[in-house]
Amino acid sequence: MFLSSTRLSPAPGRRAGEAEIPAAGKGPRAIPEKTMMQARSLLFLVCAAWPWLLVPAAVADPLKESSKVIWIDQRRQMGAAYEDGRKIMEFPVLTGDDETTTPPGLYRVLQKVEDYFSRKYRVPMPYSLFFDLKHRRAIHEGEVPPPPLRREYATHGCVHVESPYIERLFDWAEEGSTQVIITGWRTEE
C-alpha cells in the first residue's frame, strides 16, 4: 500500500501544498507535500529492498528480537547501544556519504577483530565489529570530528566511533547475535 496525497484547494486554515489525510476519529490532519513524498519514497525502498520487514510488529521489533542492539542514526550522526530494550550508551559517529555510502539496513555483528588492518586503505581499524563481510564494512575506532565539521568528512562506508566508546562497544557486543541497525542517509543533513 502506498501513501497518497490529494491535490485539492487548501481547506480553511491550511497552506497550499499540504495534503489532507484523515486520522482515525480526529478528522483531517495536514501533512506537508514534501513529507508525503519522502514517506512514499521510504516505504517503496523498504518494501522493495527488505520485503521480510512486512511482518507483524512484535516479530519485526529488533529491540525485542535481540537482547543487544547497536543503532546508528546517520542523519543525526549518533549511535546508541541497547540491552534488553534499554539504552545503555550513546555516542557520536561518522559514516559514509552519498559517494561512499553506509547502506541503511538490519545487520548482525558477524566478526570481531581487535587489531584489524585494512590492506585496501592501508590503515589500522582497531576494535572492528564487522557487519558486512562482502564489502568489509565495520563499526571501528576512528576519528569523529565535532558537529560543525562533521559534514566535511566521511568514511568509505564504515562507521567510526571514538575512544572510549568503541572499546566499551567492542567488549559488550557479541559476535553472531548483536544486531546492528543503520537508519537514514547522510544526504538528509
Rounded Cα–Cα distance for residues 51 and 168 (Å): 34
Give the model confidence (pLDDT) of 116-143 as tens digits: 999 988 999 999 999 999 999 999 999 9
Torsion angle of the four alpha carbons 9, 15, 17, 18, in this order, in degrees rounded to the nearest 10: -90
Beta bridge partners of 70: 81, 180
Tell me what pLDDT residue 99 has. 87
Comparing 28-37, 113-122, 180-189, the range with the smallest average pLDDT is 28-37
Tell me the pTM. 0.67
Region 161-178: what's the mean pLDDT? 97
Q: CATH 2.40.440.10: which residues of the chain? A: 59-188
155 SS3 class: strand
**pLDDT band, residue 30 (cuts 50/70/90):** very low
**pLDDT band, residue 19 (cuts 50/70/90):** very low
Q: Cell 539496513 appears where?
A: 105
Region 28-52: what's the mean pLDDT? 53
For residues 104 and 74, the answer to whether their CB atoms sit within 8 Å is yes
Tell me what pLDDT residue 68 has. 96
Three cell numbers written together for 74: 546517520
Q: Which of 3.30.70.580, 3.20.20.220, 2.10.25.10, 2.40.440.10 is the CATH number of 59-188?
A: 2.40.440.10
**pLDDT band, residue 151 (cuts 50/70/90):** confident
For residues 129 and 139, the answer to whether their CB atoms sit within 8 Å is yes
What is the radius of gyration, based on Cα positions, of the chain?
20
